[in-house]
């Protein structure tokens, strides 16, 4: 088996670690952004397979490029090595940065011209990616497989018994994965994607789902919103912006009640969530039967996509008879709200009377009730305080042990009888 070698090549006058005509960063990016086998197939580098990929990943993960005085375009280590600490420094280091269609151009003092779709995108990406960190993640996948890949899980309800969660043109696979996890948390078993930017299925989404694999496996991608909602009879759209549309506006609690009522009647329902960048277009909200708006700080109303799904899912689950406070396992029983006693029992009045008699007799012996005429008031205060605790039988026994130890000591510290 021939192992491809990493070579130091020159690109735009700078030393770059490369393999098979591709930079090391390109190899890491391809295997991180897709399934490893898909990434290797897209690269098509002779000799680069699952068995030999680890050498390339290790080079990047261990920052071996520093010893070679080389770096990849787009890597954060390169901008750091060049001393570029701000966006201004980055612009100054280039000859020209062309924004969008070229109507806006940023002129610097360097020799290279680059293009970017928008200035906002440049502000987020100019410093580069931590490819060494990406390489370590791919190495873990290569060695151990996808995290929690063995977990399958199962839907909480039958088909159509929960509303479909519909994501409109989701941009980030990580967000899809976190939405899937929120869906699994709260019994939203159907996930639909409208034109996901990075395609479907996507390994990064599965990783971010952190075990909610059945949601990811069953998720379906549709080319248009009409396709995604074709079989639904009732759809609500989430938005933080007020729309000049004559539609019912519901809170999360109200929409959960409405969805349950309709699903109980046999209707198929869905909840539509907008894009991460700018939510839903008004033309898309028009196609919904109602609008759902989450109570928020009016001066900061935008929520992360998964957070929005989580809130709606919580309201949906709150009224479900199968809802549980926390997890339930072989060794953990379902919990109800209120004081958790497990197998313990509240103390009886007889046990409390025994505690009072024990405590008050020792306080009498040690002269605590002084002056004597205040004894009834102090006793009443003590009894009121201890009764307010709502102590269990075990706690009363513990308190009596404390009183006995304070009064007589224990073991070698036991006080002599007087």
Most confident of 96-100, 209-213, 303-307: 303-307
Q: Which residues pair with 17 in a beta bridge?
A: 8
- pLDDT bucket at 206, cuts 50 / 70 / 90: confident
Residues 249-260 have a mean pLDDT of: 94
Lowest-confidence segment of 115-119, 263-267, 292-296 by average pLDDT = 115-119
Q: What is the mean pLDDT of residues 229-248?
A: 93
Residue 36 pLDDT level (bands cut at 50, 70, 90): confident
Q: What is the mean pLDDT of the chain?
A: 87
Region 183-211: mean pLDDT is 90
b/e burial code for range 284-299 (CB count within 10 A of at least 16 → b): bbeebbbbbbbeeeee
Confidence of residue 114 (pLDDT cuts 50, 70, 90): confident
User: What is the C-alpha to C-alpha distance for residues 156 and 144, in angstroms, rounded to an integer?
Assistant: 29
Average pLDDT in the 78-106 region? 89
Statement: residue 135 has pLDDT above 60: yes
Q: Of residues 128 and 331, which shows the higher confidence score? A: 128
Per-residue DSSP letters for 90-138? Answer: HHHTSSEEEETTTTEEEE-SSS-EEEES-HHHHHHHTT-B-HHHHHHHH
Task: Please check the confidence at residue 49 and state whether its pLDDT lies above 50.
Answer: yes
Which residue is listed with tokens 């926390």? 326
Q: From CA 82, how far away is CA 72, in angstroms rounded?
A: 12
> Could you tell me which residues come within 8 angstroms of residue 215 by beta carbon, excluding any fewer than 6 positions away?
153, 180, 181, 183, 184, 189, 191, 209
Q: What is the pTM of this model?
A: 0.54
How confident is the model at residue 147, as a pLDDT?
Answer: 47
Between CA 291 and CA 380 the distance in angstroms is: 58
The whole-number average pLDDT for the span 127-135 is 89
Give the tens place of pLDDT for each residue, 378-396: 999 999 999 998 899 999 9
Q: Is the pLDDT of residue 207 over 90?
A: no
For residue 252, which of 303, 218, 205 has the smallest C-alpha distance?
303
Least confidently predicted of 3-17, 182-196, 272-286: 3-17
């Amino acid at each position: 088996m021939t192992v491809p070698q990493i070579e130091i090549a020159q690109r735009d006058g700078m030393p770059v670690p490369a393999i098979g005509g591709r930079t090391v960063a390109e190899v890491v990016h391809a295997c991180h952004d897709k399934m490893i086998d898909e990434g290797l197939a897209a690269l098509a580098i002779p000799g680069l397979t699952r068995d030999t990929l680890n050498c390339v990943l290790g080079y990047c993960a261990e920052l071996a490029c520093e010893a070679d005085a080389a770096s990849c375009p787009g890597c954060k280590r390169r901008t750091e090595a060049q001393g570029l600490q701000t966006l201004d420094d980055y612009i100054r280091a280039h000859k020209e940065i062309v924004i969008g269609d070229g109507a806006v151009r940023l002129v610097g003092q360097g020799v290279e011209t680059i293009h970017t779709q928008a200035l906002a995108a440049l502000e987020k990406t100019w410093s580069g990616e931590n490819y060494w960190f990406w390489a370590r993640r791919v190495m873990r996948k290569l060695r151990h497989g996808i995290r929690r890949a063995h977990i399958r899980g199962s839907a909480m309800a039958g088909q159509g018994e929960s509303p479909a969660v519909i994501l409109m043109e989701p941009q980030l696979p990580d967000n899809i994965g976190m939405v899937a996890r929120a869906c699994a948390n709260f019994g939203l078993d159907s996930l639909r994607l409208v034109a996901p930017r990075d395609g479907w299925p996507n390994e990064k989404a599965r990783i971010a789902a952190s075990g909610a694999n059945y949601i990811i496996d069953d998720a379906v991608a549709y080319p248009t919103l009409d396709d995604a909602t074709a079989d639904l009879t009732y759809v609500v759209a989430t938005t933080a912006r007020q729309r000049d549309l004559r539609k019912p506006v519901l809170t999360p609690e109200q929409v959960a009640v409405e969805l349950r009522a309709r699903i109980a009647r046999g209707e198929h329902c869905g909840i539509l969530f907008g894009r991460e960048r700018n939510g839903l277009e008004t033309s898309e909200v028009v196609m919904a039967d109602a609008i759902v708006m989450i109570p928020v700080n009016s001066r900061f109303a935008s929520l992360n996509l998964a957070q929005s799904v989580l809130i709606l899912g919580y309201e949906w689950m709150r009224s479900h008879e199968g809802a549980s406070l926390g997890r339930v396992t072989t060794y953990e029983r379902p919990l109800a709200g209120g004081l958790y006693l497990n197998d313990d029992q509240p103390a009886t009045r007889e046990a409390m009377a025994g505690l009072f008699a024990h405590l008050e007799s020792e306080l009498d012996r040690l002269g605590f009730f002084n002056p004597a005429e205040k004894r009834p008031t102090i006793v009443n205060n003590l009894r009121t305080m201890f009764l307010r605790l709502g102590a269990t039988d075990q706690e009363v026994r513990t308190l009596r042990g404390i009183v006995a130890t304070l009064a007589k000591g224990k073991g070698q510290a036991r006080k002599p009888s007087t």
